[in-house]
């Protein structure tokens, strides 16, 4: 088993290779270099590629992998909100154009900002009863919309307010992702965030368990919810999808993404000895409670992303065993590679220096 934190510079991109399986969780911020980094590690075929949430520093590289035509992705696991937005637009493309006429989106209160809260209280929504994921979107409608929005947003006659432009950009990004993913032939699974700790195996072929989500079919949003979804899209850090690798006789690998593990409530996440944990939210002080929630002996933390005044936080710095792609003591950037020696039952680092953060 091998764990890799790619040197994506900004954001997270983690690889787990176990047996014949390659898993990639997030793609970092740079769309154009991710395929090269994967190929350098001899990764051409990915069994499961996951995007934990919408932010650029996790999503862009996923788009880069799909668009590269050099990487084959068997299954793509994405937040359901991407699919719901695209599905809604393929039924109601006019929602996108109406957005350009709106002053600004009217949103309830800050409290209701998560989509989870919002949807819970709405009588929504046209359920989709299709079980297969094949041809679920009307791709020709999405392509028409893509083309039209591109032309509109570059037309000097229109003066859009900055908010509306931002939402249009979000729409374009999601449409482009869905169009390319559909053409790539990857099997897409849509995962819905759940605010409680559940351990769900998403595919029986893979030893990756979702801790705060489950697979669902797509739905068409009514108009107001569609706008709300667009609004919350880039504010749902805490609804990052969290996954745990678990297989008998092996340590776990916990992919925390940008979650604060708030979904655990008062529960702990108990890991096997020698498990690897990705530093939550790139080691930010805003997520420092995570180091208490995750329990286990001889845990190894791995942190990706840059150094800022909040990252890495003192809780991260005081951990006994950890590796960074970039430490706060110098600007040296590295790929973190850890190989698990099953006989000795320990991880061996390969061309990787120990974290020197102070």
Task: Using alpha carbons, list the distances in angstroms from residue 201 to 244, 256, 260, 301, 324.
Answer: 10, 16, 21, 24, 29
Interacting span for Zn ion (CB under 5 A) from 116-124, 205-213, 224-232, 327-335: 327-335
Stretch that binds Zn ion, among 54-62, 84-92, 161-169, 217-225 (CB under 5 A): 54-62
> Minimum distance from CB of 269 to Zn ion (Å)?
20
Tokens 């729409």 correspond to 171
Handedness of CA 105, 109, 112, 113 (dihedral sign): positive
Q: Residue from 8, 324, 336, 338 that binds Zn ion (CB under 5 A)?
A: 324
In the complex, least distance from residue 347 CB atom to Zn ion, rounded to whole angstroms: 17
Q: Tell me which H or E stretch contains 75.
A: strand 72-79
What residues contact residue 19 under an 8 Å CB cut-off, 6+ apart? Answer: none
Tell me how far, at minimum, the Cβ of 307 lies from Zn ion, in Å: 8
Whether the Cβ atoms of residue 260 and residue 213 lie closer than 8 Å to each other: no
Region of 52-60, 74-82, 174-182, 186-194 interacting with Zn ion (CB under 5 A): 52-60
Segment interacting with Zn ion (CB under 5 A) among 19-27, 32-40, 53-61, 87-95: 53-61
258 is a site residue for Zn ion (CB under 5 A): yes
Which of residues 223 and 332 has its CB atom nearest to Zn ion in the complex?
A: 332
Residue 145 within binding range of Zn ion, rule CB under 5 A: no
Q: What is the DSSP letter of 222?
A: P
How many residues form the binding site for Zn ion (CB under 5 A)? 6
- Spatial contact of 67 and 43, defined as CB atoms under 8 Å apart: no
Span near Zn ion by CB under 5 A; candidates 35-43, 51-59, 117-125, 153-161: 51-59
Binder of Zn ion out of 26, 47, 57, 239 (CB under 5 A)? 57
Residue 302 interacting with Zn ion (CB under 5 A): no
Distances in whole angstroms, Cα of residue 61 to Cα of each of 16, 21, 52, 136, 210: 16, 20, 12, 24, 21
Residues 235, 53: Cα–Cα separation, whole Å: 10
Q: Is 174 in the site for Zn ion (CB under 5 A)?
A: no
- Choose one: 184-192, 202-210, 250-258, 293-301; the region binding Zn ion (CB under 5 A): 250-258
Q: Which residues contact 213 (CB under 8 A, 6 or more apart)?
A: 79, 191, 192, 193, 194, 200, 241, 242
The burial class, CB within 10 Å (0-12 / 13-18 / 19+), for 55 is: buried
Match 């509109």 to its residue by tokens.
Answer: 152
Instruction: Based on the shown chain and the rule CB under 5 A, indicate whether residue 80 belongs to the binding site for Zn ion.
Output: no
18 binds Zn ion (CB under 5 A): no
357 is a site residue for Zn ion (CB under 5 A): yes
The answer to whether residue 8 forms part of the interface with Zn ion (CB under 5 A) is: no
Specify the residue, 60 or 182, whose C-beta has the smaller distance to Zn ion.
Answer: 60
d(CA 210, CA 215): 9
Binding positions for Zn ion, rule: CB under 5 A = 57, 258, 324, 327, 355, 357
């Amino acid at each position: 088993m091998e764990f890799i934190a790619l040197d994506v510079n900004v954001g997270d991109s983690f690889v787990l290779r176990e047996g014949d399986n390659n898993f990639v969780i997030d793609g970092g911020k740079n769309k154009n270099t991710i395929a090269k980094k994967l190929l350098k590690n001899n990764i051409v075929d990915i069994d499961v590629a996951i995007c934990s949430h919408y932010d650029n520093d996790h999503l862009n590289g996923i788009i880069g992998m799909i668009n590269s035509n050099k990487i084959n992705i068997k299954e793509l696991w994405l937040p359901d909100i991407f699919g719901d937005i695209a599905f809604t637009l393929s039924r109601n493309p006019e929602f996108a154009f109406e957005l350009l006429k709106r002053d600004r989106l009217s949103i309830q209160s800050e409290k209701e900002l998560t989509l989870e809260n919002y949807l819970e209280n709405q009588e929504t929504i046209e359920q989709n009863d299709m079980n297969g994921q094949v041809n679920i979107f009307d791709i020709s409608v999405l392509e028409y919309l893509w083309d039209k929005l591109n032309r509109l947003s570059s037309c000097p006659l229109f003066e859009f307010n900055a908010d509306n432009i931002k939402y249009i950009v979000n729409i374009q990004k999601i449409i482009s992702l869905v169009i390319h993913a559909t053409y790539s032939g990857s099997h897409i699974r849509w995962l819905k965030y759940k605010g409680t700790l559940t351990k769900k195996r998403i595919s029986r072929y893979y030893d990756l368990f979702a801790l705060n989500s489950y697979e669902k079919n797509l739905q068409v949003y009514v108009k107001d919810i569609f706008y709300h979804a667009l609004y919350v899209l880039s504010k749902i850090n805490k609804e990052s999808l969290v996954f745990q690798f678990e297989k008998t006789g092996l340590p776990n690998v916990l992919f925390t993404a940008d979650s604060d593990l708030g979904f655990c409530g008062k529960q702990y996440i108990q890991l096997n000895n020698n498990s690897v944990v990705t530093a939550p939210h790139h080691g930010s002080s805003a997520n420092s409670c995570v180091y208490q929630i995750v329990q286990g002996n001889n845990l190894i933390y791995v942190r990706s992303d840059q150094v800022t005044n909040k990252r890495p936080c003192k809780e991260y710095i005081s951990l006994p065993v950890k590796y960074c792609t970039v430490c706060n003591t110098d600007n040296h950037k590295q790929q973190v590679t850890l190989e698990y020696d099953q006989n000795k039952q320990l991880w061996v680092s390969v061309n990787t220096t120990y974290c020197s953060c102070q």
